[in-house]
Amino acid sequence: LTPAYIEALLASGIKMDLHTLQPYRPLILETCVPLLGRMLSDSSPEVRASASESLTMLPPHIAPPDLGQHILTLILSLSHSDDNEELRMTGCGLLGKMAKGVGRDLCRQFVVPEVVSLAEDPVFRVRKSAALNLASICEVAGEEDTKGRLLPAYIRLTKDDMYRVRKACAESIVQVSNVLPAETRKDLVPLF
């Protein structure tokens, strides 16, 4: 089996569970994931987008311990790319898309602090990406982390100098507010 074959199987919608894929675990983790990692770092936005889409299909097919070690580590390395804002944006987008797939514990431990950090990035496009992805992370992280860690970052982003960042916050306010208790939601109204 080749990585392309495994990816085609996953993309085809064929119901495959962890037990069915167990014999292919080394191929997926040692070949497919590193290959996707290289494609996520490609200079072409189209290649990065396709690799991102493929990577988001993997969590249901990978055992939870492998998600953190192989998938989340890959995504965090992208978001730590100091010299490439495109990779930080790709990493941030993947953190948002993969939050549900990696589960609440890994989300709270790794995804939340990383997105809070990206929300303070010097490049406005990275901050915009953080604003757009905060809502999906709030849904997984839960009320406590949303109120204590993500909401302060969101509020800072609503006051950003760049209108595109503020606009991204406005686009996600409904999703963010859905995670908050009613008494905290009313604090969001004056932001806009």
Q: Write out pLDDT tens, residues 49-64.
A: 988 988 888 887 788 8
In whole angstroms, give the CA distance from residue 21 to residue 18: 5
Which candidate, 137, 133, 127, places its Cα nearest to that of 161? 127
Phi then psi for residue 80, to 5 deg, are -95, 5
Q: How far apart are CA 79 and CA 92, in angstroms?
A: 6
pLDDT class of 27 with cuts at 50, 70, 90: confident
DSSP 59: G
Q: What contacts 168, CB < 8 A, 6 or more positions away?
A: 128, 131, 132, 157
The DSSP call for residue 81 is -
How far is Cα 108 from Cα 138, in angstroms, rounded to an integer? Answer: 10
Question: So what's the pLDDT on residue 184?
Answer: 80
Q: What is the pLDDT of residue 159?
A: 94
Amino acid at 130: A
Q: Is 163 exposed, middle or buried (0-12, 13-18, 19+ CB in 10 A)?
A: exposed
Closest CA to 107 of 99, 98, 116: 99
For 111-162, write each residue's pLDDT tens digit: 999 999 999 999 999 999 999 999 999 999 988 898 899 999 999 999 999 9
83 Cβ contact list (under 8 Å, min separation 6)? none
Q: How far apart are CA 8 and CA 14, in angstroms?
A: 10
Helix (H) or strand (E) holding 82: none
- pTM equals 0.83
Give CA–CA dist 169/131, Å, rounded: 5
